[in-house]
Chain A
């Protein structure tokens, strides 16, 4: 084990091509790969080192859908099978009629737009991603559903874990201190609802702050202060 070497510390910013470690005893994870003896980063990211596991957590990038993801989507149109949605990814996502609601939707009797109109938002589960182009959603079972009113904002999908926080601590604080309903989609869309538009705006600001300051110390305190100051 003479040539085993690690070149980075924990929580260091790395870019593609950075050699993170040399030697066969290191194990790549996340956006790190092995190339011959070396572990290299293939993405802009933050390192996480646990023993001999060298992981790179991405700091930027668009959403690429995965089966099982909870996402927020916007209805963009309808067809015989159901509705087309935009889930902010390179592919269209379909919401079949049978998967759209826990109750029966009589689309023979009523126009499709009675149930979901263009511009409506849904909270849904990605049930299928085949050959990358074909994405299917379901909003049949709770908590998935149509989102009534509220506002949807865009954040970087890589910042979603920070908005949720450790064991959901951040999202819990956001909800409790403001009385807003909040749903977070892994595709980087966040739905906020409160009858008071000012409270909605303060929550938008709080979430934008988490997005831009996600690496800074004392983030939780800063967010708490912002929420308090706005009351």
Chain B
């Protein structure tokens, strides 16, 4: 964010925003065209392919057997992982996860976890011994900004279609290749609205170019009721408290439209 080398791009995008305009003809608070396809992968328990304009994200849900954490012996395990694969952008590299991919993983994870999306107590098979582990893996396929909103929307869409694998109680074995009709137990559907700020102007759903030159961003996760379940500020710029309160309200109304895509 705020790349010093892109002075002219920054100036140009700022000058458009001052006129209530953006590249591609959008208004500041307008999302790109959103498309969601679900159940696109046969090996995954649930999957979704989400498009925000040219930005594209794959999400796969896998359910497996594992042991619970010692401090929560009666709860199953939820793991969210963002893989910024080098397929999606020349900026992504091979090797260990970058700080950026860890941030994406953790922010999406918090929104899902803290909103109580998955009732982990229902994922317990044998307290202290055996529980279900739900893995949500988010893979950008074409990087064009707004990974947070697209990633979480895809994660929830994939979870909503996810079904549990067949489990033989007698032998304690899982047949990963047979999915039952039983769904992954969901009790919430959080969505996220991320706002970017550039030269005092605020807008949503930044493209890769806009994200590159913005001063900062604020992601706000909201549950079905419209309460805030996760926030994350990124970038070196700052927000005022009034801006934050206004953006929470703005996020409440925008999130209603995002939910229509489920």
Q: Considering the complex, which residues of chain B in the window 74-130 have a beta carbon less than 8 Å from any beta carbon of chain A?
A: none
The SS class assigned to the A binding surface is mixed
Say what secondary structure dominates the interface of chain B: helix
Tell me the smallest distance from the CB of A83 to a CB of chain B, in Å.
13
Q: Give which listed residue, B4, B12, B21, contacts A119 with CB less than 8 A.
A: B4
Interface residues in A53-79 (C-beta closer than 8 Å to B): 74, 76
- Is B11 an interface residue, CB under 8 A from the partner? yes
Q: Is there an interface contact between B21 and A151, defined as CB atoms closer than 8 Å?
A: no
| CB closest chain-B residue, reference A200 | B12
Q: In the complex, what residues of A have CB within 8 A of residue B182's CB? A: none
Given contacts A197-B21, A201-B21, A201-B23, contact A151 B9 (CB under 8 A): yes
> Which residues A167-218 have CB closer than 8 A to chain B?
197-198, 200-201, 204-205
A149 pairs with B23, CB closer than 8 A: no
Interface contact A151-B7, CB-CB below 8 Å = no
* B8, A149: Cβ atoms closer than 8 Å: yes
The answer to whether A121 and B8 touch (CB under 8 A), given A197-B15, A197-B16, A201-B16, is yes
Give the distance to chain B from A89, nearest Cβ to Cβ, in Å. 14
CB of B30, distance to nearest CB on chain A (Å): 15
B181 at the interface (CB under 8 A from A): no
Distance between Cα atoms of A76 and B5 in the complex (Å): 7
Nearest-Cβ distance from residue B50 to partner chain A, whole angstroms: 23
- A197's nearest neighbour on chain B, judged by CB, is B15
Is A13 close to B, CB under 8 A? no
Question: How many residue pairs bridge A and B at CB < 8 Å?
Answer: 36
Shortest Cβ gap from B16 to chain A (Å) = 5
A30 CB-CB contact with B under 8 Å: no
Contact code string B21-39 (vs A, CB < 8 Å = 1, else 0): 1010100000000000000
Q: Is B175 an interface residue (CB 8 A)?
A: no
Complex alpha-carbon distance, A198 and B12, angstroms: 10
A195 to chain B, nearest CB (A): 10
Judge whether B8 and A152 touch: CB under 8 Å: yes
| CB of A118 within 8 Å of the partner chain | yes
B8 touches which of A118, A151, A198, A204 (Cβ 8 Å): A151
Complex alpha-carbon distance, A150 and B4, angstroms: 16
B201 at the interface (CB under 8 A from A): no
What mask results when residues 103 to 143 of chain A are scored 1 for a CB within 8 Å of chain B, else 0? 00000000000000111110000000000000000000000
Determine if A119 and B16 form an interchain contact, defined as CB atoms under 8 angstroms apart: no
Bound complex: CA of A205 vs CA of B18, how far in Å?
Answer: 19
A119 and B7 contacting across the interface, CB-CB below 8 Å:
yes
B19 interface residue per 8 A CB criterion: yes
Rounded to whole Å, the gap between the CB of B90 and the closest CB of chain A is 11
Is A74 touching B16 in the complex (CB atoms < 8 A)? no
**Contact status of A204 and B23, CB under 8 A, knowing A151-B9, A151-B12, A197-B12:** yes
Question: B21: which A residues are within 8 A, CB to CB?
Answer: 197-198, 201
Give every chain B residue within 8 A of A200 (Cβ-Cβ): 12
- Is B5's CB under 8 angstroms from A150's CB? no
Q: Are B5 and A74 in contact (CB under 8 A)?
A: yes
Across-interface contacts of B7 in A (CB, < 8 A): 117, 119-120
Query: Which of chain A's residues have a CB closer than 8 A to the CB of B8?
Result: 119, 121, 149-152
**How many whole Å from B9's CB to the nearest CB in chain A?**
7
- The answer on a CB contact under 8 Å between B23 and A119 is no
Contact of B19 among A120, A197, A204 (CB under 8 A): A197
Which residue, B4, B12, B21, B25, has most C-beta atoms of chain A within 10 A?
B12
User: What's the Cα separation between A119 and B8 when bound, in Å?
Assistant: 8
Smallest CB separation, B18 vs chain A (Å): 8
Complex-state Cα separation, A200 to B25, whole angstroms: 12
Q: Do A118 and B5 touch (CB < 8 A)?
A: yes
For A204, the closest partner residue in chain B by CB is: B23
- Nearest first, the 8 A-B pairs at minimum CB distance are A197-B15, A119-B7, A151-B12, A119-B5, A197-B16, A151-B8, A118-B5, A201-B16
Query: Could you list 5 A-B pairs, sorted by A, with CB under 8 Å?
Result: A119-B8, A120-B7, A152-B8, A198-B21, A201-B16
- Given A151-B9, A197-B16, 12 more A-B residue pairs with CB atoms under 8 Å apart are A76-B5, A119-B6, A120-B7, A149-B8, A149-B11, A151-B8, A152-B8, A197-B12, A197-B18, A200-B12, A201-B16, A201-B21
